Structure 1
Amino acid sequence: MKNHRIKLTIAIAAALASSTGMALSQDAKFQGTVRIPVYNVPDSDFVDYTFGQVLQKAGYNVEYLKIDYTAHFTALEFGDVDLSPAVWGTSKDLIDKTVESGSVKNAGSAGVKTKETWWYPNYVGELCPGLPDWKALKDPACIKALSTSASGDQINYLGTPPDFAAYDDERIKALGLNVHITLPGTVGTMVATMQGAIQKKEPIIGWGMTPHWLYGSDQGKFVEFPEYDDRCPTDPSWGENPDAVWDCALSTGDIVKLYNVEFAEKAPDVLKIFDQFKLTSDDVAKGISRQDVDGVTPEQAAQEWIDANSGIWSSWLR
């Protein structure tokens, strides 16, 4: 009888230990550092810092890695970056290539719709009445009206920072446009240059994107290029020019979330929060405006969102 009781006690203790161990395993918090990229780009950095600060509120260690946007896809693939909360869906070829490696997965939309293409202030539409149709940019009268002393006899076009995948050179060549490109060093410089041109009512077309406080406003419009098709970047026979690729706009889409597969296996608790993380287009536009217009840092803009939306982000941590 005594031996039976001892065996029963041991069995119960083992069961409790097993049960407790399972609970601890399920509730265990990742103890390492979560590495998140930032690119010195107001829209993406606002999203990245917002997610990072949510993790910090939950008690996780977070490191922000300053990196070139295009290069960060390779870093994500090789595990030098763990999570990427702010990938513009218009970078479709880069996303597809990274996911096809098998080392990275797409966690879906961050809740924000995106658009990237050429943009012009309203007064430019008066200088080139055929806009927003891209074919108006081939009209000699329009080319002359949209040129400056710096652009010569070409359209004055303000492009993107060098690390953007805008495919402007390919698009200009494929569509036979007569355009002089000026490349700004950063998105901040790009926006400030456009603002300066608007104040002086200079002839200009530039790269634009939404969500954004300027490009999403009623101060201008987007050029309407041939709509994106998956064949456009790879099949010359598709589209306006049968001998060239990129005779179309970039695709529209969402800000999507990518993660490294090995990291997800080590930190399923972090991935659970990552899956639930969502913002709105208005959130991002305001975050950009706070940086561009009011001069706050992306960290400060993210902190403001955190302070104002505890009811939203706290639900992701349950």
Structure 2
Amino acid sequence: MRMTTLAAATLAGLGLAGAAFAEAESQEPIKLTLHDWSGQLLTTTIMGKVLAEAGYNIEYVQADYIAQFAGLKSGDLHVAMEIWETTGREAMDEATATGNVVNMGETGMKAIEEWWYPAYMEETCPGLPDWQALNDCAREFATPETSPMGRYLGGPVTWGGFDEERVEALGMDFEVVHAGTDAALFAELESAYQRKAPIVLWIYSPHWAPAKYEGSFVEFPAYTPECYDDPAWGSNPDMAYDCGKPTGPIWKVAWSGLAETWPGAAKAVEAFTISNEDMGAMVGEVDLNGKSVDEVSDAWLEANKDTWSAWIVD
């Protein structure tokens, strides 16, 4: 879907116009990728609206999180606003090594994506948050579909994350079951939490869930790059991924031709930054309070004019 005249008029109606903004170098559309979680939709929509305010023609393209790199390398896609250190680093490094994709820097957000359980499960499963204690209690997390194995509710399969590889490498008595959507993942958490039912699932931050629900991330053997790259590292000498997930920045990446075709837009993407606190609050407004991504992104733009205006001033 393209940034329309109506959207631009909405921006003007919010008082977001600025006379000193850089002039767009080309009216060819800049294609920004959209994924399947609210935070990424917000990040991308904010960036798109700021670029539209600077006079660029913006197109949003739905794309899989990992598969998008093929389009970024070919130039069919131009900007991806959220590559998480936790799950996307390998794909990002492979793409940037080709020279066709460039790392545009950190978003300002810090990523955690890991197995998580509600605090009430500590009575049922003493020894948590240690992963070995979790494994000893695997039957407590079983469902009729997975019994006698415990169920780990993972994110949508397109998110990556190597959960199946970790379960096998660590010899865990768990079956990985993927939620179909981000919304379905957190609907299951809400249902389980209300009933105090057993659940261990993928939780990420920045997000509203770690603030709303009392619980803890499971503690796996600490991540090192060797854990993913060298099967001999760690407790299983024959398999990689026998450790926790990495934590770290959420990155921005772009097709290498972005700076040549739209230099002002490239500078704006590089300058973009937002905090975990701001993003967690915005995701809560969308997921918990039923507001639209457009409503919430417009409110952030209205409240942070000085911040985003600096991204596009010539």
TM-score (norm 2): 0.89
CA RMSD for the aligned pairs?
1.5
Which residue does the alignment assign to 1:83?
A: 79
Which residue does the alignment assign to 2:40?
A: 44
AA aligned opposite 2:121: V
Which residue does the alignment assign to 1:263?
A: 258
Pairs within 5 Å for 1:9-28 = none
The counterpart of 1:165, out of the listed 157, 160, 164, is 160
Task: Describe the SS at the equivalent of 2:80.
Answer: strand
Q: CA deviation at 1:291?
A: 1.7
The Cα offsets for residues 138-195 of structure 1, whole Å up to 9 and x where unpaired, read as 32xx123222333311212211101011111100000010112221111111111111
Q: CA deviation at 1:224?
A: 0.6
Q: CA deviation at 1:27?
A: 5.8
Pairs within 5 Å for 1:4-153 = 29-90=25-86, 91-139=88-136, 142-153=137-148
Same amino acid, percent of matched pairs: 35
Moved more, 145-154 or 237-246: 145-154
Distance in 1, Cα, partners of 2:24 & 2:144: 64
Contact in 2 for aligned 1:107/1:257 (Cα 8 Å): yes
Distance in 2, Cα, partners of 1:216 & 1:70: 28
The reply on whether 1:277 has 2:272 as its aligned counterpart is: yes
Distance change (3 Å), C-alpha of 1:222 and 1:47 = same
AA aligned opposite 1:119: W
Q: CA deviation at 1:43?
A: 1.5
Distance in 2, Cα, partners of 1:27 & 1:295: 36
Q: CA deviation at 1:275?
A: 1.3
Q: CA deviation at 1:281?
A: 0.2
Contact in 2 for aligned 1:110/1:279 (Cα 8 Å): yes
Contact in 2 for aligned 1:160/1:183 (Cα 8 Å): yes
Larger Rg: 1
AA aligned opposite 1:220: G
Pairs within 5 Å for 1:289-304 = 289-304=284-299
The Cα offsets for residues 67-111 of structure 1, whole Å up to 9 and x where unpaired, read as 111111111111111111221122111111111111011011010
TM-score (norm 1): 0.88
Which residue does the alignment assign to 2:231?
A: 236
Task: Describe the SS at the equivalent of 2:158.
Answer: coil
Structure 2: segments with no counterpart, 5+ residues: 1-21
The reply on whether 1:175 has 2:170 as its aligned counterpart is: yes
Distance in 2, Cα, partners of 1:301 & 1:169: 35
Structure 1: segments with no counterpart, 5+ residues: 1-25
Contact in 2 for aligned 1:76/1:82 (Cα 8 Å): yes
Moved more, 297-306 or 171-180: 297-306
Distance in 2, Cα, partners of 1:244 & 1:311: 50
